[in-house]
Structure 1
Amino acid sequence: MTEPRKCPVVPFDHNSPGHSADPVASYARLRAEAPVAWTEAHGGYWVLSDYDAVFAAARDDAVFSSGRSPYGGEGLANTIPKAPVRLHIPVELDLPEHRSYRKILNPVTSPAAVAELQPMIERWTTWFVDQVIETGECDFAGVIGVPAVVTLDWLGLDVGDWRRYSRALHSVLADSPGSPAHTHAVEVDIPWMEGQITVAIAARRAQPRDDLISYLLAQDVDGTPISDDAAYSMVELLISGGVGTTASLVSQTLVHLSRHPDQRRQLLEDPDLLARAVEEFLRAFSPTQALARTVTQDTEFRGCPMKRGDRVLLAWSSANRDPGQFEDAEDVVLTRWPNRHTAFGMGIHRCAGAHVGRAIAKELIGQVIRRMPDYVVDEAGLQTYPHQGVNAGFQRIPATFTPGPRLGADR
């Protein structure tokens, strides 16, 4: 029997159907009851749910490690339970290794680099909207495949396979373990994806092209050429982020704007407001709900005795709705500023693709508002992700709108 904890023990499981039914309310109850608490679910872990606790832990990498370890089982270190995927670099590395790989990504994810990607983002967004604009109806869950296609095009992978890449990584995190979809993803789609990436890396080693995979393979890590395994890890991380988080943000935003046509009208009449509004959508609809860390040494945190090897969940989405940090935290305020949200994480592991995600979200939301200004979501047909412990959002968003003209050439 483990030694009793001296901090609140709560009946909480962010993977449970009850939590997924309403993550916002679930975290609100936890935040009010015990912002630092222990749960016995999944072998036991700490949950940090208010802004101050999440902020402090996210910036203390010496105590709250992102690296893989045997604690909590095998697999992706930043999920509880751990997901059965290969190492993600650099998010599963601590200093100093993290810095060596992060500096490879920084030049290609900077604001200047993302500005060069803008024409591609606009082209693919136009193409996706064109596929449905003349019909007057669509499922927005398909239209928001833009992030997946942009990511694959950027990397130099076959964009025709975007649905399978998306399903592979999305299902591992958003479908319930043991479900047919989750099992198929783990046993069939993930191995298929691994094969596609491995073949692409070998091909770029032999014949580099003007794509991101070729760029990664041309880099070195502290003076040593990057390995195929490290390049694979970075490619898979980029795909994982590209197919999941931005789509999650946009899906929640489009549903919200259908429910609040006054805000949609405000954005239509004042397009310059969209950039600031995207920050508020990130705060209110955190695409990545929570990520995990591992305690490296016995310590006391906010009065709670944590032990080496303890797993800790940092609830970004809960921190983003903490009324102690944000005035009118439950309201979506398009003009909110400053907006120190945690949607991209904090500290050294702050999302490297933040600028890419912002650019895609802004273009996609903007085109939908401009080209389908009167869209209405069929609330009865909405389907949320079965599992919203890591990514929140909708997997089916049926909508109707006044048909409009195509704007781009067929691809």
Structure 2
Amino acid sequence: MSPTVEQHAENWDLRHADFNDPDFLYDVYTVMRGNSPFARTDNPFLSATPSGAWVAVRYAECVQILQDWEHFSSSPTPEGAEQLAGDLVITLDPPRQQKFRKVLNPYFSPARMKALRHEIAAETDDLIDVFIESGSGDLAEVAWRQPGIVFFKYLLGMPVDDVPLCVELTDTALNGATEEARMGAWGGLYQHLHDAVTARTAEPPRDDMIDVLLSAEIDGEKLAFGDVVSNAMLLVQAGLETTASAMSFAYHYLATHPAERDRLIAEPDLLARAVEEFIRFAGSIHGIPRTVAKEVELSGCTFSPGESVIVNYASANRDEEQFPEAARCILDRRENRHLGFGAGVHRCLGSNLARLEFQVGLERVLTRMPDFTLTAGAEAKFHGNSVTRGFRSVPVTFTPAARTR
């Protein structure tokens, strides 16, 4: 017999099969928030400790933790550190983290991202062209391929043909059935990036993210080769899954809520706010670990050095104390300080790119297939792993139209 909502709330395990029902998962989060600002899990991920971990589930506490790096460090626990192959920008604390981030920031500036709008639209159109003439297709293919193609082709400098392999390896690494499968996938992804970066050292510079990492200096020293590979791997994971997960949710939501779909077509100025609401409501990211660096009390709970705390963005983004009618997707929501991109010194480096990919992805689908609906009798397949969650299949039908080229 499956555990009840209350039993899941007592010992949260995001990999549990019950949570492939996203509505059930949010029912559990509601109970967790009602019980306490902090839940417990015996099955933490990414930065495991033998004694389990705390889980921050309310908005206020999540924000405080994310902004207090002196007490809640991004450095992994000793057990988690054993799984890392180098220093990652997301596992560093200031001041080194800020110096590392300063190297990468210019490549994600608003101006640089804005200049990519035409290319992102063209890549999205190419994906839609695959099925536009038939009157039916799978919008998850657009959601899961567009961000990877854009990131690999225009920022990272890797072949777009590598996208499917990297998506598969990343997903298995995060949610493989066994520890052996997960570690094997991590190793496979690392080796793939290791080979790609090694090949680039013998080639002329291309002004892309791999070149930035290879030439970066912090405190007068170049990054170790292992750190270059590890951070390239981090960028691949971030560039492939998070935006794709949220976009797949948006496509499914609009395919099953035709009045909302039609409203966005009639009121295109709402699109930017709708993207923010989809990011809040979809809850792509469900857990980012922090390690307690020194004893601290927060909301009546005392945390000791070495303990692990998982910051649950998705639960925080459904906190009724912060978001009125939090369980509703309100496309014109005005006050929306969601945690979809985190907060504090580690706020998402690629948020400008993610917003642009998301907005253009919606614009092109709404423009070219404005009457799309979920295919009658077909099943939209939801898939969740220990970090990102979204739809892997969103079959739709619509009035056939012409290809762009």
Considering the TM-score relative to the shorter chain, is it more than 0.5? yes
Q: From 68, 79, 91, give the equivalent of 2:76.
A: 68
Q: Would you say the 8 A contact 1:134–1:406 is kept in 2?
A: yes
Distance in 2 (CA, whole Å) between partners of 1:178 and 1:377 is 34
Q: Which runs of 4+ in 1 moved over 4 A?
A: none
- Map 1:182-221 onto structure 2 (within 5 A): 183=181, 186-187=183-184, 189-206=185-202, 207-221=204-218
CA distance in 2, matches of 1:294, 1:359: 32
**Alignment partner of 2:131: what SS?**
helix
Task: Give SS of 1:343's match.
Answer: coil
The aligned runs of 1:275-354 (5 Å cut-off) are 275-354=272-351
Paired letter, 2:325:
D
Counterpart check, 1:94 vs 2:93: yes
Q: Which amino acid aligns with 1:97?
A: R
Q: Which amino acid aligns with 2:75?
A: G
- Encode CA deviations 1:60-111: one digit per residue, 9 max, x unaligned: 1111111133146732xxxxxxxxx644621111111111110011111110
Give the equivalent residue in structure 2 for 1:270: 267
Aligned mates of 2:81, 2:111 — CA distance in 1: 40
Is the CA contact (8 Å cut-off) linking 1:297 and 1:308 kept in structure 2?
yes
Letter in 2 for 1:123: A
Structure 1 residue matching 2:63: 3-state secondary structure = helix
Q: Quote the Cα distance in structure 2 between the aligned partners of 1:124 and 1:337.
A: 31
Deviation, structure 1 residue 170: 2.3
Which residue type is aligned with residue 313 of structure 2?
Answer: W
Contact kept? 1:62, 1:296, Cα under 8 Å: yes
CA distance in 2, matches of 1:285, 1:125: 21
Q: 1:38 to 1:190 in 2, by over 3 A?
A: closer
* TM-aligned CA distance change 1:136 to 1:171, over 3 Å: farther
User: Percent of pairs identical after alignment?
Assistant: 33
**What letter is aligned with 1:11?**
N
Amino acid across the alignment from 2:272:
A
- State which drifts further: 273-282 or 195-204: 195-204
Q: Deviations over 1:363-407 (max 9, x none)?
A: 11111111121112247412211x444212112222222211111
* Change in CA separation of 1:373 and 1:232 when aligned onto 2, cut-off 3 Å: same
**How far apart are the structure 2 equivalents of 1:252 and 1:89?**
29
**Which residue of the other structure, out of 231, 235, 242, is the alignment partner of 1:234?**
231
Q: Secondary structure at the match of 2:310?
A: strand
Residues in 2 aligned to 1:18 and 1:88: alpha-carbon distance in whole angstroms: 35
Matched, 1:395 2:396: no
How many pairs does the alignment contain?
385
Indicate which of 378, 383, 388 corresponds to 2:381. Answer: 383
Q: Name the counterpart of 1:82.
A: none
- Listed one character per residue, the Cα deviations across residues 233-272 of structure 1 (whole Å, up to 9, x for unaligned) are 2211111011100110001111111121111111111222
Q: CA deviation at 1:230?
A: 2.4
Q: 1:259 to 1:137 in 2, by over 3 A?
A: same
Task: Tell me the alpha carbon deviations over residues 260-316 of structure 1, each in whole angstroms, 9 at most, x when there is no partner.
Answer: 111111111122211111011111112112211111123322111222111111111
CA contact (8 A) 2:258 2:373 kept: no
Report the Cα distance in structure 1 between the residues aligned to 2:116 and 2:231, rounded to whole angstroms. Answer: 19
In the alignment, the residues of structure 1 paired with residue 236 and residue 167 of structure 2 have an alpha-carbon distance, to the nearest angstrom, of 8
SS at match of 1:323: coil
CA contact (8 A) 1:71 1:311 kept: no
Q: Does 1:119 pair with 2:118?
A: yes
Indicate the larger mover: 164-173 or 196-205.
Answer: 196-205
Deviation sequence 1:1-20 (CA, Å, 0-9, x none): xxxxxxxx923222222234
Q: What is the deviation of 1:148?
A: 0.9
Whether the aligned pair in 2 keeps the contact of 1:19 and 1:26 (CA below 8 Å) is: no
SS in 2 for 1:332: coil
Q: 1:74 to 1:198 in 2, by over 3 A?
A: closer
Q: Is the 8 A contact 1:151 1:238 kept in 2?
A: no
Once the two structures are TM-superposed, the CA of residue 190 in structure 1 deviates from its matched residue by 4.2
Question: Structure 1 residues 72, 168: CA separation in 2 closer, same or farther (over 3 Å shift)?
Answer: closer
Which secondary structure does the structure 1 equivalent of 2:89 belong to? Answer: coil
Measured in 2, the distance between the counterparts of 1:350 and 1:167 equals 26
Cα distance in 2, alignment partners of residues 124 and 171 from structure 1? 26
Of 138-147 and 247-256, the range deviating more from structure 2: 138-147
| SS of structure 2 residue aligned to 1:278 | helix
Is 1:138 the counterpart of 2:141? The answer is no
Distance 1:86 1:139, change over 3 A: farther
Structure 2 unaligned residues grouped into runs of 5+: 1-8, 45-50
Compute the RMSD of aligned alpha carbons. 2.1
The letter of the residue matching 2:247 is: V
